[in-house]
Amino acid sequence: MQIYLPIAQISIDLLPLLGIGFAVGILSGMFGIGGGFIMTPILFFLGVPANIAVATQSSQLVGTAASGALVYYRQKAIDYRMGLILFAGGFFGTTLGVRVFAWLTSLGQIELFVSLAYIFLLTLIGTLMMWESYRVMRGQNSGAGFHEKLAWRHWPLQMRFPASRLEISTIPVFFIGAFVGFMAAILGVGGGFILVPAMIYLIGMPTKTVLGTSMFQIVLVTATATMMHATSTRAVDIVLAMVLIFGSVPGASLGAIMALRIPPVRIRMGLGLVIMAITIRLILDLTLEPSSLYSIGL
């Protein structure tokens, strides 16, 4: 069954879209991430134009992250103060990111840039995850506590974060937020996959507040990215976003149930493998000679 996407102006098979929404939903429920970093490259492979995939992902993630954040809100596991400072940085980064996105699109280099950024980030995160789960499997410590060695904790503008029982400089928090916001705008991701490790390893937040705060700040960042894409690139496709949400929400519930039954190390190992596979595919697309040297620009 086909569905016509009014903004993308293409007709696309409904079932693969729902299936991918569902599969990514499972991953997102299992790992507590939005899953945008997996969804966006898969949408490229399905033939959704890069600008539509990226802009639409932002709006889809608002919904998915909001329903996730609601769960943490009920458990009182959100550090709002931390979330708002991360978002202040995120707003700055998103504004910059949408500008850079529009500029690279006009140069015809957006696909190259997005692919390279993905390859860089996914390689980094995939390697870290595989390495960490390997260490945990061998009974070594997981790298938590690393943040205590970082000097930026003692920079000026110190602030107390009672919900996370932390006192830290707001400057690194702002810049982590800005980096994540930049990536959210350019890659169509919520940034949870960058933010969660950064909160644990770089800021030193306790596990209790990490996922809730990350979800909370992702709602704010992706909502900002949606508004900016809607008013500048005009590439947000509501129909595509709805289809993806329909698939991903049930997937996320199933993933959350599965997460309780599978040991976390296995889960992280699995996610590491998924990330590696996507990275390899992106690298091959970039380095193997394409079937046609010519392409029609966006």
Partner 1 sequence: MNIFRPLILLILLLAPCAAFAQNINEPTPQIYFDRSDSDVPLNITFNGQDILIYGAVENLGGLDPDIIIKITGPLDNYVIHKKSHRLGMWINTQSLTFRRVPSFLALFSDAPLDTIILPTEKIRHDIGFERSLPLRGFSAEIDEPEAFLNAFINLQKRKQKYVLDEDGVKIAGNILFSAHIPLAADIIEGTYTVEILLLGRGRVLASVTSDLPVYKSGIERWLFELSQNQGWLYGLLAIFMAVLVAYLMSQFMRLFQR
Q: Which is nearer to partner 1, 66 or 259 (CB)?
A: 66
HSE on the CB side for 26, CA within 13 Å?
12
Among 17, 245, 267, 271, binds partner 1 (CB under 8 A): 245
Residues 11-40 that bind partner 1 (CB under 8 A): 11
Does the footprint of partner 1 cover residue 156 (CB under 8 A)?
A: no
Q: How far apart are the first and last CA of the chain?
A: 26
Does the footprint of partner 1 cover residue 281 (CB under 8 A)?
A: no
Residue 158 DSSP SS3: strand
Candidates 128-136, 137-145, 194-202, 229-237 — which segment interacts with partner 1 by CB under 8 A? 229-237
Gyration radius of the chain over CA positions: 19
CA angle in degrees (0–180, nearest 5) for 211-216-220: 140
State in angstroms the smallest separation of the CB of 247 from partner 1.
10
Structure tokens at 215: 């979800």
Does the footprint of partner 1 cover residue 74 (CB under 8 A)?
A: no
Does the footprint of partner 1 cover residue 234 (CB under 8 A)?
A: yes
Q: Nearest-CA neighbor of 198 among 213, 220, 216, 219?
A: 213
User: Could you tell me how many residues of this chain bind partner 1 (CB under 8 A)?
Assistant: 52
Q: Any bridge partners for residue 166, and if so which?
A: 161
Among 16, 108, 263, 264, binds partner 1 (CB under 8 A): 108
> Which residue is associated with the tokens 């699995």?
270
The residue count of the chain comes to 298
Which residues of the chain form contacts with partner 1 (CB under 8 A)? 2-4, 6-7, 9-11, 59-64, 66-67, 70, 108-109, 111-112, 223, 226-227, 229-232, 234, 236, 238-239, 241-242, 245-246, 249-250, 252-253, 257, 286-290, 292-297
